[in-house]
């Protein structure tokens, strides 16, 4: 199985610095502000719409019995991401709107 490599915050900041020419502290600050605004919006029950990327929302999960342990899991929320159709086409992800053949 192929190991998937993750992109870190440091790598993203480094790319922003290279592409824009702003300083590393400024790029880090901008990244933190955007991330904090997204978190606050989600905490307030709003969805986050990233144009060209997708939508981040909360989904309510009802209580259910765990198949592994038999313990009842109480109702809770989970984060849900729905990719934009354009992004799905670029990275070839199977969605309701875009079926991979």
65 and 97 both lie in a single domain: yes
φ/ψ region of 50 (left if φ > 0, alpha if ψ in -120 to 50, else beta) reads beta
Q: Are residues 88 and 51 in the same domain?
A: yes
Residue 25 pLDDT: 95
- Please give the pLDDT value at position 83: 84
Same domain, residue pair 57 and 39: no
| Contact present, 63 and 72 (Cβ < 8 Å) | yes
Say whether both 41 and 57 belong to one domain.
no
Strand partners, 83: 54
- Provide the domain limits for residue 22: 1-46
Measured CA to CA in angstroms, residue 23 lies from 12, 13, 16, 27, 31 at distances of 13, 10, 9, 6, 12
Report how many domains make up the chain.
2
Helical axes 24-43 vs 9-20, angle rounded to 10°: 120
Please give the chain's pLDDT, 101 residues, in tens: 567 788 899 999 999 999 999 999 999 999 999 999 999 999 898 999 999 889 999 889 999 999 999 999 999 999 999 888 878 777 776 666 656 66
Are 36 and 71 in a shared domain?
Answer: no
Are 58 and 31 found together in one domain?
A: no
Tell whether 18 and 55 lie within a shared domain. Answer: no
37, 76: one domain? no
Give the predicted TM-score (pTM) of the model.
0.69
- Give the domain CATH number at 78: 4.10.520.10
What one-character DSSP code corresponds to residue 49?
E
């Amino acid at each position: 199985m192929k190991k998937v490599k993750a992109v870190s915050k440091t790598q993203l900041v480094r790319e922003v610095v290279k592409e824009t020419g702003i300083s590393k502290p400024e790029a880090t600050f901008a990244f933190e502000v955007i991330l904090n605004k997204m978190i606050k919006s989600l905490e307030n029950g709003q969805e986050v719409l990233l144009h060209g990327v997708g939508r981040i929302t909360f989904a309510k999960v009802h209580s259910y019995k765990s198949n592994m342990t038999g313990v009842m899991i109480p109702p809770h929320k989970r984060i849900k991401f729905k990719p934009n159709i354009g992004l799905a086409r670029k990275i070839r992800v199977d969605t309701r709107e875009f079926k991979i053949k």
